[in-house]
Structures are given as C-alpha cells and as structure tokens.
Amino acid sequence: MSTAHVVVTVLAILANAAAAVADFAKAGFVLANSAEVRVPHSWVPTLGALKAAGAVGLLLGLLGAHVVGTAAAIGLVVFFVGAVGLHVRLRVWHNIAFPGTFLALAVASLVLGAAS
C-alpha cells in the first residue's frame, strides 16, 4: 500500500464522513443544493447513508479488507458520477466543484488501491 493511496483514501474517508454528517443533520447548504438539483429532501438521509457506507468501506479497505475497500471506491465513483451528471444536466455550475472533488478523490482512491 503506497503512501499516496493512504493519504488520498484518508481524505476521501474524511470528506465523505463529513458530507454524511451534514446530510444526516439536514444542514441548510445540503437542503439548498439538493433543491437546486431537484433531489427531494426526503432522499438526503439515504444519500448520507450511502456516503457513510462508502467512508466505512474505504476505512475497512485500509485496514486489510481490500475487496471491501475496492467495492466502496467503485460505489463512490458511481455515486459521484451521478451527482456530477445531475449538475451538468441541470446546468448547476456554481457548485459543481464539490461533487467533482468527491469524484476525483473516489477515482484516485480506486486507481491507487488497484495499483497497490
């Protein structure tokens, strides 16, 4: 396991865990963003659970359950491809950097994990 893989994966874990907490708390910025991209507020806790599951899976991957870590990274890539795609489809450009950054972390974690 490379240092780059550990660092990127820890960043992905922290980012997704923080996003999940914000989703569970139904933070104002989360509800505003979900409304902009036409995601019902009732979906926010489920999306938070998916982010939390991804963070836990990445952590388990770092702790030795490599298949779980790989599956979590793939799941997060799919999740954030959908998020970025939704932003593009609805032309919500002003905050596309957020799902784009999460996507980049998930892709980097997946690629670096596969290379290790």
Q: In this predicted model, what pLDDT tens digit does every residue of 22-47 receive, in sequence order?
A: 999 999 999 999 999 999 999 999 99
Q: Report whether pLDDT(116) > 90.
A: no
Give CA–CA dist 25/87, Å, rounded. Answer: 22
Q: What pLDDT, on the 0 to 100 scale, is given for residue 44? A: 96
- Whole-model pTM above 0.75? yes
| Residue 1 confidence (pLDDT) | 74
Residue owning tokens 């708390």: 25
User: What pLDDT is recorded for position 97?
Assistant: 94
Residue type, position 24, single letter: F
Tokens 């999940």 appear where?
20
Q: How far apart are the first and last CA of the chain?
A: 5
Q: In this predicted model, what pLDDT tens digit does every residue of 57-88 receive, in sequence order?
A: 999 999 999 999 999 999 999 999 999 999 99
